[in-house]
Amino acid sequence: MKPRDVVLSVQTPEQEELIRKYHAYVMELDQLALSAPDGQVMDQCELAAVTKGRDITRQTLEQAVQRRIEAAEKKGRR
C-alpha cells in the first residue's frame, strides 16, 4: 500500500506528542505482525497491544484530566 499523508489539528503540544506516539504504536504493531513467527502473530501483537497500549491510554487519560483541571481553575478565577 502506498503511504498517504494525513493532516491533523491539535490544540496543545501534549496532544501532538500523543498523536505521534499513537502513530509509532500502530507502525510498531504492523511491523511486529509482519515479523512474528508463524503461529505467534496474535500472541505477540496482543502482548504488545496490552503493554504499550496501556501506557498510551494512561497518558491520554492524564491529559484529559489535566485539561479539565485547568478549565476548572480558569473558571474559578473569575
30's grid cell: 504492523
Is the pTM higher than 0.85?
Answer: no
Tell me which residue of 33, 30, 26 sits closest to 18, measured CA to CA.
26
* Contact criterion met (CB below 8 Å) for 9 and 20: no
Which domain covers residue 67, as residue numbers?
A: 13-77
3 within a domain of the structure (yes/no): no
34 within a domain of the structure (yes/no): yes
Residue 55 CA neighbour count, 13 Å, CB half:
8
The total number of structural domains that make up the chain:
1
5 within a domain of the structure (yes/no): no
4 within a domain of the structure (yes/no): no
25 within a domain of the structure (yes/no): yes
How many CB atoms are located within 10 Å of the residue 53 CB? 14
Q: Return the ∠ at Cα 66 (arms to 62 and 70), rounded to 5°.
A: 175
1 within a domain of the structure (yes/no): no
pLDDT tens digits, one per residue of 14-52: 999 999 999 999 999 999 999 999 999 999 999 999 999
